[in-house]
Amino acid sequence: MTDWIFNRDAIRTFRFVRCAFDAQTGVAHLVYAFDDGPELTETVTVPGAPFVLDAARTEAAQRALRLLHLIAGVSYYKAAVAGEIRIDGYAIDADTAALLETVYRNGLGEFAYRNGLDLRGKIRFPADAAPSQPVPALGLRAHALVAIGGGKDSLVSIEALRAEGVEQTVTWIGGSQLIAACAAHTGLPTLNIGRQLAPQLFDYNRQGAWNGHIPVTAVNSAIMAFAAVLLGVDQVVFSNERSASYGSQIPGTGEVNHQWSKGWAFESAFGDYLQSHVAADLHYYSLLRPLSELAVARQFARTDRYDAHFSSCNRNFHILGERPTSRWCGVCPKCHFVFLALAPFLPKLRLVGIVGRNLLDDPAQVPGFDALLEYGDHKPFECVGEGRESRAAMALLAQRPDWREDAVIRRFARQILPQLDAGPLALEPLLALDDEHRIPAALWERLRARFAA
């Protein structure tokens, strides 16, 4: 075993070895292996131990733990893309296999595209168990675990839930100081769940493992669902907007969605699965699903409470390596998009104060904004809004005296705007609310008016 060497091309099998949870310490171990190689152990630590669970909740926690084991395996599976997947120690039914196949195939869409791999029909989970019986309700108490990511979206949800009097615990995974600061600034109860990837993954990356993006929101969702069962609460709330369901259109390939697990297809499949296979009264939904990115930006503009704390720039969230010195790098697609999306709704001085400079008055940033507009390039592989949202925001700024002289806007008005149809550039239709969501009906009744204005 000690002389086992990672060689992605020689690996035949990816194994889900076992998963275990210690209710005394709150630590879950998720164990994987390639062929007969060393065990790779990811740990997830839920604060609040010891957990004292009745028999029904113990069983539900075990079901949620297995689901987490199976979804979190995507980080390791991707390293070798082995031809065979094996699950040791327990069996899954056809519904579970179908959910996992869709999460792995779509969630690894960008990974496959960038690595020139074709995963269609190649990811097969063995479905050896008989179909599961519907699971019972656990009598979970009405309380929301709300995911916070340090950016604008979750803060919009948190403030909306606060305004509606929904009891919530602001919850995040991992050790980000930026998220911790935002969470503290909400003044609400907080929960920080620990997560450590198996350390060998980083060695394998250096040894030539396949590498690339994984559906991290699916993993975070499974962690939060597990925590909700342990804590006995009935809602897991994310802040994924409608725009996340639309990927980048790649000529010759089709749609590739970096943020697939933030989209509606994942939310509806995962939410339904939790209720049929984990606990009938566990609700998973995104509070912002009816909203476009622009509509979320409009909501965010309503409070300046988080201006000095939040950041949407993903460069803050690397596990390894140095953290950026500024909360906003100012050159990545997310910085570009969030600046553009907020500009129609925020006083210019406030926005420039948040990001530290005016990204729309920097000619060097033109190619970055062009990609957002899908002008001569595809939408970037990051969590940015639809091309039509970027074009509408830019067209609006081109009419505003305070923005229209800025370099990127001036060049848009001169070179791109004349080629565009005026109709789809109207902002108002893009702010309309959608009906496709899983928000509990009574809550949505109260929220609708708030989000419509």
Ligand X SMILES: Nc1ncnc2c1ncn2[C@@H]1O[C@H](COP(=O)(O)OP(=O)(O)OP(=O)(O)O)[C@@H](O)[C@H]1O
Residues in touch with ligand X (CB under 6 A): 147-154, 172-174, 179, 217, 220, 238-240, 262, 312, 338, 383
Q: How far is the CB of 354 from ligand LMILMEGD (least distance, A)?
A: 18
Task: Pull the structure tokens for residue 317.
Answer: 């969230």
- Considering only 162, 317, 420, 440, the residue that binds ligand LMILMEGD (CB under 6 A) is 317
Which residue lies nearer to ligand LMILMEGD by CB, 38 or 363? Answer: 38
Q: How far is the CB of 45 from ligand X (least distance, A)?
A: 13
- Considering only 135, 214, 236, 447, the residue that binds ligand LMILMEGD (CB under 6 A) is 214
For 83, other C-beta atoms within 10 Å of its C-beta total 12
CA 69, CA 30: separation in Å to the nearest integer? Answer: 6
Question: Which residue has its beta carbon closest to ligand X?
Answer: 151
Task: Pull the structure tokens for residue 169.
Answer: 């615990």
For 289, other C-beta atoms within 10 Å of its C-beta total 25
Which residue lies nearer to ligand LMILMEGD by CB, 14 or 403? Answer: 14
Residue 1: CB partners within 8 Å, gap ≥ 6? 36, 37, 38
Q: How far is the CB of 370 from ligand X (least distance, A)?
A: 21
Q: At what angle do helices 264-277 and 55-72 cross, to 10 degrees?
A: 150
Number of residues written out for the chain: 453
Does 18 sit near ligand LMILMEGD (CB under 6 A)?
no
Task: Pull the structure tokens for residue 282.
Answer: 């566990």
Residue 8: CB partners within 8 Å, gap ≥ 6? 79, 80, 81, 208, 209, 210
Residues 214-250: b if buried by 16+ CB within 10 A, e if exposed: bbbbbbbbbbbbbbbbbbebbbbbbbbbbbbbbbbee
Residue 143: CB partners within 8 Å, gap ≥ 6? 167, 168, 169, 233, 234, 235
Which of ligand LMILMEGD, ligand X, none sits in contact with 213, Cβ below 5 to 8 A by type?
Answer: ligand LMILMEGD
Does 205 sit near ligand LMILMEGD (CB under 6 A)?
yes
Which residue lies nearer to ligand X by CB, 77 or 238? Answer: 238
Which residue lies nearer to ligand LMILMEGD by CB, 96 or 259? Answer: 259
Q: How far is the CB of 392 from ligand LMILMEGD (least distance, A)?
A: 21
Q: How far is the CB of 158 from ligand LMILMEGD (least distance, A)?
A: 17
Which of ligand LMILMEGD, ligand X, none sits in contact with 299, Cβ below 5 to 8 A by type?
Answer: none
Pairing of β 27-34 and β 141-147: unpaired
Which of ligand X, ligand LMILMEGD, none sits in contact with 152, Cβ below 5 to 8 A by type?
Answer: ligand X
Which residue lies nearer to ligand X by CB, 11 or 229? Answer: 229
Can you spell out the DSSP letters for 254-305?
A: EEE-TTGGGSHHHHHHHHHHHHHHT-TT-EEEETTTTS-HHHHHHHHTT--T
Which of ligand LMILMEGD, ligand X, none sits in contact with 319, Cβ below 5 to 8 A by type?
Answer: ligand LMILMEGD
Residue 66: CB partners within 8 Å, gap ≥ 6? 19, 90, 92
Does 96 sit near ligand LMILMEGD (CB under 6 A)?
no
Does 194 sit near ligand LMILMEGD (CB under 6 A)?
no
How many residues form the binding site for ligand LMILMEGD (CB under 6 A)?
Answer: 20
Q: How far is the CB of 49 from ligand LMILMEGD (least distance, A)?
A: 23
CA 197, CA 345: separation in Å to the nearest integer? Answer: 39
3 state DSSP class of 109: helix
CA 360, CA 394: separation in Å to the nearest integer? Answer: 10
- Which residue bears the tokens 């001569």? 376
Does 314 sit near ligand LMILMEGD (CB under 6 A)?
yes
Which of ligand LMILMEGD, ligand X, none sits in contact with 75, Cβ below 5 to 8 A by type?
Answer: ligand LMILMEGD
Whether residue 38 is preceded by a cis peptide bond, meaning omega within 30 degrees of 0, is no
CA 256, CA 113: separation in Å to the nearest integer? Answer: 8
- Considering only 318, 323, 357, 450, the residue that binds ligand LMILMEGD (CB under 6 A) is 318
- Considering only 319, 364, 426, 432, the residue that binds ligand LMILMEGD (CB under 6 A) is 319
Which residue lies nearer to ligand X by CB, 200 or 221? Answer: 221
Q: How far is the CB of 243 from ligand LMILMEGD (least distance, A)?
A: 11
Which of ligand X, ligand LMILMEGD, none sits in contact with 154, Cβ below 5 to 8 A by type?
Answer: ligand X
Residues 159-178 binding ligand LMILMEGD (CB under 6 A) are: none
What one-character DSSP code corresponds to residue 415? I
Q: By CB under 6 A, which span of 137-145, 183-191, 215-223, 227-235 interacts with ligand LMILMEGD? A: 215-223
Binding site for ligand LMILMEGD (CB under 6 A): 75, 197, 205, 211-217, 219, 259, 261-262, 314, 317-320, 383
